[in-house]
Structure 1
Amino acid sequence: MADASGLDHLDEAVEARVHGGVQVDRDVTALALDPCFAGSQVAEAAAALGCEVRYHPGFRLSTARLDPSYRGRQYVQLAQELAPVLTPDVIGDAARSGKYDLQVLKRVWHYLARFGRDDAGTGR
């Protein structure tokens, strides 16, 4: 049914609910982090949780040639304002700054999530 919706997978809702407590050292096998967090406070905090910490291949995307037809010119402009190369920590820093609407940053994240796996740089 999801494939038949015609929506971009990033526009479909994904929700998980946990009823009751979660104990990380008991209930979590591993936490996957983007490599941009290696050696950071995020990695230190993750290591203290009591589960294995793994790194996935990472999300990186050059903002120089993003295609505005995917989400819109305003999101491309914001991505370029944030950094020449988007990574999850760049978007997280922007979210915590309080300067940007979180729904707007979500659309910038969509560029990174959709096109940032091999850093082809095209945003197409």
Structure 2
Amino acid sequence: MKEEIQKAIDLLLANGYEITPPQTIDEVCNDFEQWWNLYNKKRGKDKCQKRWARMTKKERQACMAATPAYVRSITDKQFQKDPFTYLNGRCWQDEIIDPYGNTEQRTAVEFATKAAAILNAD
């Protein structure tokens, strides 16, 4: 089985594909802790951590990139979504409305896409 996997990897590399190893459990946990501190509303950490672990690497990176803008857009913390709701509803893809009335509205997806391009994420 290992030989077959190695042959597949070699074939992909020979055809110009980039092989990115999956994140380790420690990396996923560290990323979650960073996001948890960014989100700044502490409810249901265990449920959130399990949901985070089921997300793809791209989803986690997009979420990390979009969260600061979402948190900044909330003027009163009581109206901020619970963290599990944010993750489960894929809210990092939602439109972020500027509370200060700028006419140009951007979505979290645009921020995440730019961040992913910079990070060259898979």
Q: Same fold (TM over 0.5)?
A: no
Bigger helix fraction: 2
TM category, shorter: under 0.3
Bigger strand fraction: 1
> Structure 1 length normalisation: TM-score?
0.22
> Structure 2 length normalisation: TM-score?
0.23
